[in-house]
Amino acid sequence: MSKQQILDELPKFAADERRQILERLCDLEDKDLADGKGITPEEASLLDRELAEYQHDRNAGAPWEDVERRLMRKGQ
């Protein structure tokens, strides 16, 4: 199945099925990152900047649960 065919099929899935797909994709991304694959120099730079900002002000940002909830709402 081609990438375009997969993308074309996604809207046909129910919301809970799309969440399962999203979770699987996130798991694959996590594995790639843990294996040292998939991160670009630009992404590494962004992560370094975000870490420095967090170390400067540990109260900035939001708890992961809040961020995840917002992302899941956007994906619906």
**Rounded to an integer, what distance in angstroms lies between the CA atom of residue 15 and that of residue 20?**
9
pLDDT value at position 38? 76
pTM: 0.52
**Model confidence over 28-66: pLDDT tens digits?**
999 988 887 878 899 889 999 999 998 999 887 888 999
**Model confidence over 60-75: pLDDT tens digits?**
788 899 999 999 998 7
70-75: list long-range contacts, CB under 8 Å, 24+ apart: 72/19, 75/18, 75/19, 75/22
CB 16 within 8 A of CB 23: no
- The per-residue pLDDT of the chain, averaged, comes to 91
How many C-beta atoms surround the C-beta of residue 22 within 10 A? Answer: 14
